[in-house]
Amino acid sequence: MLPKILVFAGSNRTGAYSKKVANVAVETLAGLGADVTLIALADYPLPIMDEDLEKDKGVPANAMKLGRLFAAHDGILIASPEYNSSIPPLLKNTIDWVSRISRDDDKPLKPYAGKVVALCSSSEGNFGGARGLYHLRSVLMNVGTQIITEQCSVIHAHEAFAPDGTFRDERTAKSMQRVCQALIDHTRFESSRR
Ligand SMILES: Cc1cc2nc3c(=O)[nH]c(=O)nc-3n(C[C@H](O)[C@H](O)[C@H](O)COP(=O)(O)O)c2cc1C
Q: pLDDT tens-digit profile of 88-102?
A: 999 999 999 999 999
User: For all residues of the chain together, what is the average pLDDT?
Assistant: 97
pLDDT, mean of residues 67-90: 98
CATH code, domain with 88? 3.40.50.360
| For ligand 1, atom 29: residue with the closest CA | 83
Expressed in angstroms and rounded, the spacing between residue 85 Cα and the centre of ligand 1 is 9
Query: How far apart, in Å, are the Cα atoms of 76 and each of 147, 158, 183?
Result: 9, 25, 8
pLDDT tier, 1 (very low <50, low <70, confident <90, very high otherwise): confident
pLDDT band (50, 70, 90) for residue 193: confident
**What range defines the domain where residue 31 resides?**
4-193
**Amino acid occupying residue 29:** L
16 CA closest ligand 1 atom index: 25
The pLDDT score that the predictor gives to residue 14 is 98
Report the number of distinct structural domains present in the chain: 1
For 149, list phi and psi in degrees, rounded to 5. Answer: -65, -45
